[in-house]
Copies of this chain bind each other. A is one copy, B any other.
Amino acid sequence: MRGRRATINDVGQAAGVSPATVSRVLNGSAPVDPALAERVLEAVRALGYRPNAAAQGLARGEWGTLGVLVPDLGNPYFPDVLKAISAAVQASGRRVMVMESDERPERERELAEDLMRCCDGVLLCSPRMDRSDVVDLAARRHPMVLVNRIVQGLDVPAVSVDFFGAMTLVCGHLTKLGHRRVAYLSGPPSAWANTERIRAFEAARAFGLDTAIIPCGATSQLGYDALPKALGTGATAVVTYNDLVAYGAFTRLQEMGVEVPGEVSLIGFDDLAREHLAGFQVTTVSVSRRSLGTVAAQLLVDLLAGRHDSEPRFLPVELQIRETCAQARV
């Protein structure tokens, strides 16, 4: 029995003015006689009036909402990014709507389209969808920004961690420690972050590194499962897609009685360990997730303001040397 909500007409009637005036008072879009304005505000309070967002969206041609799509809210990487996005977006007077694809690339496309239908702009975080899907979405000409994914030949603003540089740093470090044979527990196959890491990993062959790539994923369970295959390659160091995977691998290594870093060195990515994997002092590569979010949001806000920046931004990374790496045994 929720009685019809008050509309702008009701307010106008109550205040003895036209709905147009109410709108002007509420939005400050034109000067209004202070006495009238007071009457209007009074009526608004009395009726508990709240503008209908759909009607506003329709009339204004915009929703005042920005959408963000992430693959997995359970991955501690994303909340940090989201918080930064939220803060930046709210500073621009808009609200944020978050959706999650649950690591299912085939759902991403649909969710993104959904977001486009009710948001002024969309932020795609680490999208796992096919390149062709990204291209299709971009063809919608709906404001969109890519995070952690660069699509060649697509004129869409993007910000990403320098994954190639990160992996290069890792391989360089391992090389200096004397490792010659290294295995990589790779991430979700459709993640650009993963293909870039692989590209850099393979490039390291030029420096005499013998590389092996083991299909894995993005969770500790998958790392736990895949580790033995990595060891089977005779690698003296294992690099993982992220720290969650590294933790799974680490657990398995301990169970197998393999010393870390004595016998095998281990390096992760994303620096998730310190806050989220207590006591796991893994050597890893860090990047400011807050910056990532802030820049992403800024790019989208700029885009909506007509400032299109098609040059992808890359955020620098830093190698965090902790306790899971050591000189290779000869």
A302 CB–B CB distance under 8 Å? no
CA distance A99 to B94 in the complex (A): 12
| A50/B116 in contact, CB under 8 A | yes
Which of the residues B83, B102, B114, B279 comes within 8 Å of A83, measured between beta carbons? B102
A278 CB-CB contact with B under 8 Å: yes
A276-B279 contact in complex given A54-B63, A100-B83, C-beta closer than 8 Å: no
Indicate if the CB atoms of B74 and A80 lie closer than 8 Å: yes
Query: Is A321 an interface position by the 8 A CB rule?
Result: no
Interface residues of A in 37-95 (CB under 8 A from B): 48, 50-55, 57-58, 63, 65, 72-74, 76, 78-80, 82-83, 86, 95
Which of chain B's residues have a CB closer than 8 A to the CB of A275?
A: 220
Taking the nearest CB of chain B, how far is it from the CB of A266, in angstroms?
Answer: 13
The 8 A CB mask of A152-196 against B (1 = contact, 0 = none) is 000000000000000000000000000000000000000000000
CB distance from A138 to the nearest CB of B (A): 11
Q: Are the C-beta atoms of A117 and B53 separated by less than 8 Å? A: yes
Q: Select from chain B the residue with minimum beta-carbon distance to A75.
A: B79
In contact, B99 and A95 (Cβ under 8 angstroms): yes
CA distance A220 to B139 in the complex (A): 45
Quick check: is A97 within 8 A (CB to CB) of the other chain? yes
B-chain residues with CB within 8 Å of residue A314 when the two chains form the complex? none
Closest to A280 in B: B278
CA distance A139 to B48 in the complex (A): 10
Q: How far is the CA of A220 from the CA of B275 in the complex (A)?
A: 9
In contact, B114 and A95 (Cβ under 8 angstroms):
yes
Q: How far is the CB of A48 from chain B (nearest CB, A)?
A: 7
Say which residue of B55, B116, B139, B278 sits within 8 Å of A278 (CB atoms). B278
Name the residue of chain B whose CB is nearest to the CB of A140: B48
User: How far apart are the CA atoms of A53 and B74 in the complex, in Å?
Assistant: 29
Minimum distance in angstroms from A307 CB to a CB of chain B: 14
Nearest chain B CB to A253's CB is how many angstroms away? 13
Q: Which of A249-295 contact B (CB under 8 A)?
A: 251, 273, 275-280
Say yes or no: A79 contacts B74, CB within 8 Å: yes
Given the known A-B contacts A2-B141, A98-B98, A142-B2, are A58 and B50 also in contact in the complex, defined by CB atoms under 8 Å?
no
Q: How many whole Å from A169's CB to the nearest CB in chain B? A: 24
B83–A117 contact, CB under 8 A? no
B83 touches A73 (CB 8 A): yes
Identify the closest chain B residue to A143 (Cβ): B2
* Closest partner residue, chain B, to A72 (CB atom): B79
Give, as a whole number of angstroms, the nearest-CB distance from A308 to chain B.
Answer: 10
Residue of B nearest to A73 (CB): B79
A241 at the B interface (CB under 8 A): no
Closest 7 A-B residue pairs measured CB to CB?
A54-B57, A2-B141, A73-B79, A53-B118, A98-B98, A53-B117, A277-B278
Q: List 20 A-B contacts (CB under 8 A).
A: A53-B117, A55-B58, A58-B58, A72-B79, A73-B73, A73-B83, A82-B100, A83-B100, A86-B100, A86-B102, A95-B99, A97-B98, A97-B99, A118-B118, A220-B275, A220-B278, A277-B279, A278-B278, A278-B279, A279-B280
